[in-house]
Structure 1
Amino acid sequence: MKNKLFRYGLLVSTLLFRYMTVEAQTAHNPIIFADVPDMAMIRVGNTYYMSSTTMHLSPGLPIMKSKDLVNWQLVSYAYDTLANVDALNLTNGKSTYGRGSWASSLRYHNGTYYVTTFAQTTGKTYVYTTKDIEKGPWKEASFSPSYHDHSLFFDDDGRVYMLYGAGKLKSVELNADALGVKPGTTEQVIIENASTPSGTGGGLPAEGSQLFKVKGTYYLFNITWPKGGMRTVVIHRADKLTGPWEGRVALQDLGVAQGGLIDTPDGKWYAYLFRDFGGVGRIPYLLPVTWEDGWPVLGVNGKVPEMLDLPASKGLIPGIVASDEFTRKKGDPALPLVWQWNHNPDNSLWSVSERKGYLRLKTGRADTSFVMARNTLTQRTIGPESTGATLLDASNLKPGDFAGLSLLQKNYGLVGVKAEADGKSIVMVSAGSGKAVELQRVPLKQKMVYLKAECDFKDRKDLVHFFYSLDGKAWTLIGEPLKMPYTIPHFMGYRFGLFTYATRQTGGFADFDYFRIDSSLSAEK
């Protein structure tokens, strides 16, 4: 009996070990637990490239690279500055939160990479081109109007199109170089109501178009959101671009939707899509695709699988986010690609060279609120947990200045140092109610202070706790936990940020010794 129990236990242990080993070597959904929405993807040889949306941030239109569809790293941005206007510069009381550049289209054609986008802020469509997608340089062309959620498409006959719209989908022909609308062309309605297969009535009309051609057949991916339902993938197909088109619901599960098709060098197919996931943002998923009767079939038995037959993720650090000690060797870029400014920066008011090993943020004007202050330097938060920390030298803040660590979104949270005429204090500010409120203030008698924010996105908990430390060892919770809702006005997942702004006089500055990000939480609460 003992021998049988021993053999049974050994068998269970062996099977469990094998399962854990396979699971550890297998990719899991989401493939990126961070805000990477509106993906467009291509494969060139055995390398994959992906573009995404970062709207009001600068630089913008990020390009990522992968060898396995799972492990991605930032390699480029299509532009440093979308346009030099008040809304993008955070000047004259204007901003472009939730706007800027939206869903992009990424293509490779005749040795040239194309990535296109559109902006409500400027009313234009943008085309960026390069021969080297990783090193650039990128050339820009733009034209009116702003073609909503368009898909750039190079057809086999040499003609070039943009397909765009919401609900009623249209196409317009471009010049052969794709840098402008072909003279004399007219916009053509190709599908009168692309939402029809999902039964959308009063919900989100079909948008997010991505067009593909496989074995001579055109396939068009769209997202709809039927009233009372969930985000849904709708696919149409046709033998000609002009139609007739037939459509069907391709996926209704977990709200995973909007994206397109990608194939592997060995002939496998996947769909790349994303999911709204609360405060962390819109996170990418991969679904296996099989083909039945000429239709791509998404997922496993109509569901989004948790595990994928792809290599396991090595983590999002340092490919998507990364710590920064602000030390620079000769030839290094001033800022690694993981950093983006909240709107266009004033480049005269920041430096990583004025004090070796520090990021210096200087004040240049008086601001009335954190979200209207320039030169907040940001990175994505990541799930399911992440911690951001910094060491701030506040000795050069002037009365009325505020500097520190932020969680940026409409309902933001801040921990930092406020300077007053009678001294400095560590403060925690919460805009969780929609209005900024100072929840706690602690007098600061030294020039250096450690700041930390811990984010918990598990099961959409979406909570962040703020801490400070005087020695970097003992941490003290400050203020109250902030609930981090995803709000449409900003249309972006929460981002860690380093900030400094003045409310009275200019000339002050803050020095940040480092920013460190970790994919776990500490024990302090």
Structure 2
Amino acid sequence: MRLGLLGAALLIAGAASAQVWRSDQGDGSFRNPVLYADYPDPDVIRVGSDYYMASTTFANVPGITILHSRDLINWTIVSHLVDRLEGLPQYDLQGGDAYRKGLFASSLRYHAGTYYLANTPVGQKTRIWYAKDVRGPWRYHELEREAFDPGLFIEPDGRAYLATASTADGTITLLTLDAALAHVTDARRIHYIKGAEGSKIIRRGDYYYLFNALPPRLALSVSRSRSLFGPWETRDQIDDKTGGHQGALVDLPDGRWFGFVMEDSGAIGRMTNMSPVFWQDGWPVWGTPSAPGRVPRRAAKPIPGGRFAEPGTSDTFTAPRLGLQWQWNHNPDPARWSLTERPGWLRLRPTLAPRFWSARNTLTQKGQGPASRGEVKLDIRHLAAGDRCGFGTLGQYSGNLTVTRDAAGRTTLLAETTEDRVEGAVTTTQASAALPRSEALWLRTDMDFTTDRSRFAYSLDGRRWTALGGDVPLAFAWRTGTFQGEQYALFCYNAAPSRGWIDVDDFTLSKLAPAGPVRP
């Protein structure tokens, strides 16, 4: 069922905030995905009874999200790897954008009291980050070469290696690192799998296991060998039809193993699924003996008990720092935003930009499925002529409610759509509404990932809502767009220097009844 175009009829405010998706069913079972949002390229490790996941963030800042769980099902964000991106002026939105660059496909490991994370910034050399606390501070060694999608593996005696492969070639190379994990001392081709990338290595008993994503087939393979240098024998594991195509295994304290994998899931992005794993003739098999070779939609929790937990979403902006769920679309300009100029509010001053797609300091968080509603309360009294500030989505299609003011002081609300194309981002205006002189304005964005449509409404009192504009598509595309699932976005920019600003009182995320079917 496709959401119909919305007219200008009055709408009733939505229900109070509720959990959008709960993987933990509260009865000892869980359902996939464990997070109904875009957490791509997962790598998961266990440290004692704690589990940590590193996930890709591309040009978003802070970069590389690190999550924590005690049961592999309930996750919260605990930190990020970096506060800003380095190496390209485009990370500051100078001379173009970097939406499809930045940081991705990290490999997280722990050894002898230190956390390590291998990452290759796009177009730069590989870095081995290290920290005593997963919350940081992180420092890094930069290697002599670029290793695509590096898979870090550390032997119990401290010997460290990186496995790397790219889809264009399929040759898997093993890099040997020195004792400090600061230099490459040897590089050998150890295997070949057509289309391979995203390497991960684990060890169980006498065998090493090498997992590789096969993006051309959206599949996952596993290879095994008694030596890291081969020879390797390879088997296909699963694919997006049976659960996902990039991931590996993590062990539990009692010796069992669980699998994690990402699945391309349309406009929401790439979601992480978890699966029991059993062993047969020395090979891991995803699923259960009664239903082998596929990630179950529902299964018993790997570790029973434990409390429900999830990454933060709603925010009143009363804390001294932004919540860990928030990220800027590129490196932010710290002079153009503040949580202290008006305590309890987020202040956004316009950045200099001709259009939404190239505007710095757009504050984002992940869209949540199956369907969710984001709502913000704004103080618009201090807008200056030409300011364009508001709320909506950021993605392959960006649908926004934009508040603007002209030289005569007239305030207008625009429903705008920006589509990123190969030839550049194109913005069109769907509808507009003249606003009275007032202090408060509420804006609302609905995202329904069962129909891949978004819609928008505004209110002058927080109770009575008026729809503005029609539906806007939700989409994911790696060649254009942001290489991420659709995100909620708060923004403020002007084509000319401005002394205006907009204040954001709060952001509320709530559950929305989906219009289409939800996976079982």
Match of 1:303 in 2: 294
Indicate how the Cα distance of structure 1 residues 314 and 424 shifts in structure 2: closer, same or farther if over 3 A, else same.
farther
CA contact (8 A) 1:432 1:482 kept: no
Decide which moves more: 503-512 or 59-68: 503-512
Q: Which amino acid aligns with 1:26?
A: S
Match of 1:199 in 2: none
- Displacement of 1:472: 0.5
State the alpha-carbon separation in 2 of the partners of residues 270 and 441 from structure 1: 51
State the alpha-carbon separation in 2 of the partners of residues 314 and 383 from structure 1: 21
State the alpha-carbon separation in 1 of the partners of residues 413 and 215 from structure 2: 45
State the alpha-carbon separation in 1 of the partners of residues 292 and 165 from structure 2: 31
Query: Which among 450, 457, 462 is matched to residue 472 of structure 1?
Result: 462
Match of 1:234 in 2: 221
State the alpha-carbon separation in 2 of the partners of residues 113 and 293 from structure 1: 33
State the alpha-carbon separation in 1 of the partners of residues 337 and 72 from structure 2: 36
State the alpha-carbon separation in 1 of the partners of residues 342 and 88 from structure 2: 31
2:116 is aligned with 1:114: yes
> In the TM superposition, what whole-angstrom CA distance separates every residue of 1:231-285 from its partner, at most 9, and x where no partner exists?
1111000111111000011113346110010121122211100111111110000
2:435 is aligned with 1:444: yes
Match of 1:76 in 2: 79
CA contact (8 A) 2:449 2:474 kept: no
CA contact (8 A) 2:111 2:158 kept: no
Structure 2 alignment gaps of length 5 or more? 1-23, 516-520
Match of 1:49 in 2: 52
SS of residue matched to 1:119: coil
State the alpha-carbon separation in 1 of the partners of residues 31 and 444 from structure 2: 29
State the alpha-carbon separation in 2 of the partners of residues 376 and 69 from structure 1: 32
Query: Which among 352, 357, 375 is matched to residue 371 of structure 1?
Result: 357
2:188 is aligned with 1:188: yes
State the alpha-carbon separation in 2 of the partners of residues 378 and 133 from structure 1: 23
2:31 is aligned with 1:28: yes
Q: Which amino acid aligns with 2:162?
A: M
CA contact (8 A) 2:243 2:294 kept: no
1:199-348 equivalences under 5 Å are 205-226=195-216, 230-252=217-239, 253-254=241-242, 256-299=244-287, 300-310=291-301, 319-328=310-319, 332=320, 334-348=321-335
Match of 1:63 in 2: 66
Indicate how the Cα distance of structure 1 residues 454 and 132 shifts in structure 2: closer, same or farther if over 3 A, else same.
same
Structure scoring higher RCO (CA < 8 A, sep ≥ 6) equals 2
Match of 1:201 in 2: none
So what's the TM-score if we normalise by structure 1?
0.87
Indicate how the Cα distance of structure 1 residues 180 and 518 shifts in structure 2: closer, same or farther if over 3 A, else same.
farther
> In the TM superposition, what whole-angstrom CA distance separates every residue of 1:175-196 from its partner, at most 9, and x where no partner exists?
11212323xx3x21111x213x
Match of 1:12 in 2: none
Structure 1 alignment gaps of length 5 or more? 1-20, 196-204
State the alpha-carbon separation in 2 of the partners of residues 522 and 178 from structure 1: 48
- Displacement of 1:350: 0.6
Match of 1:463 in 2: 453
SS of residue matched to 1:371: helix
> In the TM superposition, what whole-angstrom CA distance separates every residue of 1:462-513 from its partner, at most 9, and x where no partner exists?
1111110111001111101111110112210111111100123322211111
SS of residue matched to 1:492: coil
State the alpha-carbon separation in 1 of the partners of residues 118 and 331 from structure 2: 20
**Higher helix fraction (1 or 2):** 1
CA contact (8 A) 1:389 1:452 kept: yes
State the alpha-carbon separation in 2 of the partners of residues 241 and 353 from structure 1: 53
State the alpha-carbon separation in 1 of the partners of residues 387 and 272 from structure 2: 39
1:477-488 equivalences under 5 Å are 477-488=467-478
- Displacement of 1:302: 1.7
State the alpha-carbon separation in 2 of the partners of residues 384 and 314 from structure 1: 22
State the alpha-carbon separation in 1 of the partners of residues 130 and 253 from structure 2: 25
CA contact (8 A) 1:432 1:483 kept: no
CA contact (8 A) 1:26 1:312 kept: no
2:420 is aligned with 1:420: no
Match of 2:42 in 1: 39
State the alpha-carbon separation in 1 of the partners of residues 433 and 514 from structure 2: 22
> In the TM superposition, what whole-angstrom CA distance separates every residue of 1:133-185 from its partner, at most 9, and x where no partner exists?
13x22112223422101111112453211110121110111111212323xx3
- Displacement of 1:437: 0.5
CA contact (8 A) 2:37 2:269 kept: yes
SS of residue matched to 1:475: strand
CA contact (8 A) 1:411 1:430 kept: yes
Decide which moves more: 242-251 or 216-225: 216-225
Question: Which structure 1 residue ranges, 4+ long, deviate > 3 Å from structure 2?
Answer: 21-25, 311-316
State the alpha-carbon separation in 2 of the partners of residues 315 and 426 from structure 1: 39
Query: Which among 386, 391, 409 is matched to residue 377 of structure 2?
Result: 391
Indicate how the Cα distance of structure 1 residues 312 and 274 shifts in structure 2: closer, same or farther if over 3 A, else same.
farther
> In the TM superposition, what whole-angstrom CA distance separates every residue of 1:75-106 from its partner, at most 9, and x where no partner exists?
01111113153111111x22211110110000
Q: Which amino acid aligns with 1:218?
A: Y
2:504 is aligned with 1:512: yes
Query: Which among 337, 344, 363 is matched to residue 357 of structure 1?
Result: 344
SS of residue matched to 1:179: coil
Decide which moves more: 255-264 or 31-40: 255-264
State the alpha-carbon separation in 1 of the partners of residues 372 and 491 from structure 2: 19
Match of 1:154 in 2: 154
State the alpha-carbon separation in 1 of the partners of residues 371 and 27 from structure 2: 19
Q: Which amino acid aligns with 2:143?
A: F
CA contact (8 A) 1:64 1:76 kept: yes
CA contact (8 A) 2:141 2:181 kept: no
Indicate how the Cα distance of structure 1 residues 236 and 522 shifts in structure 2: closer, same or farther if over 3 A, else same.
closer
Equivalent pairs, count:
475
> In the TM superposition, what whole-angstrom CA distance separates every residue of 1:264-318 from its partner, at most 9, and x where no partner exists?
11222111001111111100001111001110011232222111210599777xx
State the alpha-carbon separation in 1 of the partners of residues 105 and 370 from structure 2: 25
